[in-house]
A = this chain, B = another copy of it.
Amino acid sequence: MEQAMALAQAIMTSLLDADLSGSELARDFEKSMGFFWQASHQQIYQELRKLAAKGWLNKREVNQSGKPNKIVYGLTLAGRESLAEWVYGPTRVQPTKDELLLKLYNLNEDNVEHIVGEITARREEVMKRLYLYEAVRRRHYDDPASLPVRHKGVYLALESGIHQGEQFLAWCDEALSLLASVEKRKA
């Protein structure tokens, strides 16, 4: 039934604490679990319909003042049970595909400069996201050991994102310093 990457479970997980509409979910994916899961709104609306048809979600329309109505989805009991079971199933990882690393295999005197530029730009992006994550950590997860169990899990996921970011910054610095010598030699 579930062959592909678990978008269904990602959505249901987002609904653990609060009922959300499609557009809210799409925004949530960018912010909360965005660093290890992404989905477009088209994907989400489609999946929501499937999940509702399976009886794992229920839907209700909500009037909003100043905005068009939204359709809010919530987990059913069957949905919660299915999600709880899913945790014991096989775990898949879909490793990163990064064209930047591929480009590095094609490095030469002509394109060093361009690639150095790309690395620099990526470093900036990652640093910005890292600031956000660390702000969240400081605000909500100051004392991890005292958190309730489930929040410990969320904290660890966030930590994973922070570690990855820091690792990437360190790698960028190493790369830029190694490539600086190439650029000089070229000049």
A152-B179, A167-B164 given as contacts; is B100 within 8 A of A87 (CB)? no
Cβ < 8 Å to B, chain A residues 51-89: 83-84, 86-88
Q: Is A130 in contact with chain B by the CB < 8 A criterion?
A: no
A5–B97 alpha-carbon span in the complex (Å): 8
B residues in contact with A182, CB < 8 Å: 149, 152
Q: Is the CB of A37 within 8 A of B102?
A: yes
Q: Which of B5, B107, B122, B166 contacts A153 (CB 8 A)?
A: B107
B residues in contact with A91, CB < 8 Å: 99-100, 103, 118, 122
A150–B109 alpha-carbon span in the complex (Å): 8
Counted per complex, copies of this chain come to 2
Q: Is the CB of A157 within 8 A of B109?
A: no
How many A residues face the partner with a CB closer than 8 A?
67
Q: Is the CB of A107 within 8 A of B150?
A: yes
B residues in contact with A6, CB < 8 Å: 99, 102
Interface residue ranges, A against B (CB under 8 Å): 5-6, 9-10, 13, 16, 33, 35-38, 83-84, 86-88, 91-112, 114-115, 118, 122, 144-145, 149-150, 152-157, 159-160, 163-164, 166-168, 170-171, 174-175, 178-179, 181-182
- List 10 A-B pairs, minimum CB-CB distance, nearest first: A107-B153, A104-B153, A167-B167, A94-B97, A101-B157, A36-B101, A91-B99, A104-B157, A96-B96, A13-B105
